[in-house]
Amino acid sequence: MKGRIAVIAIFMSLALLGIFCTSIAEAGKSENPGQIAGPLERKVILQRLYMDGEMSEETVTVKIVSMEDFWASYQDWQLIDQNEERIIFQKKEHDISPLLKANGFFGITEDGTLSIFNGKPEHSQIIQSFFQIDVGKLETYKQKELLKGIPILNKSRYEQVIEAYKPYSLPESEK
């Protein structure tokens, strides 16, 4: 009888040991870092900050098979926030926004402030303001140009216009 109990105890020990080893092996498979059991799907929000102060936002849904590949594809972006549903990245663009390229005009406000308008200056919304100009020092054609509106079109034109009108800005004490 003692022999039978010993044999049964050995078999039970071996069975428990087999179950324990199998569960450890399964746990080891799922805990492999960098590997995902199946593709993850995340909403990725890409924010672009432009030199004129505008920000555009693009939302895409991405299937992530490898976390290493995913992070590598956004290496030029700064991680802003992430949670289980979405990941937000941001990038500073050294260019003006598409809005300015399409519909931006330099102009002057009633108080003489050099500004950018969404459309021609007459009745449009101000997007960005820069500095107050001494309108008395401006040549007549420059005044008319600002009243009519100077289309921006590209980064170079944006920088040229600001530099061209800087010498006409009022000192801080005269504002």
Mean pLDDT rounded to a whole number for the chain: 80
Which of residues 92, 126, 158 is at a domain's end? 92
3-state secondary structure 53-120: CCEEEEEEEEEEEEHHHHHHHCCCCEEEEECCCEEEEEEECCCCCHHHHHHEEEEECCCCEEEEEECC
**pLDDT of residue 18 exceeding 60:** no
Which of residues 75, 92, 109 is at a domain's end? 92
Residue 15 located in a structural domain? no
Residue 139 located in a structural domain? yes
Number of other residues whose CB lies within 10 A of the CB of residue 153: 14
Span 52-98, pLDDT tens digits: 888 999 999 999 999 899 999 999 999 999 999 999 999 999 999 99
Structurally, the chain folds into a number of domains equal to 2
Give the tokens for residue 18.
């087999």
Is the same domain home to 165 and 109? yes
The reply to whether the predicted model has a pTM over 0.85 is no
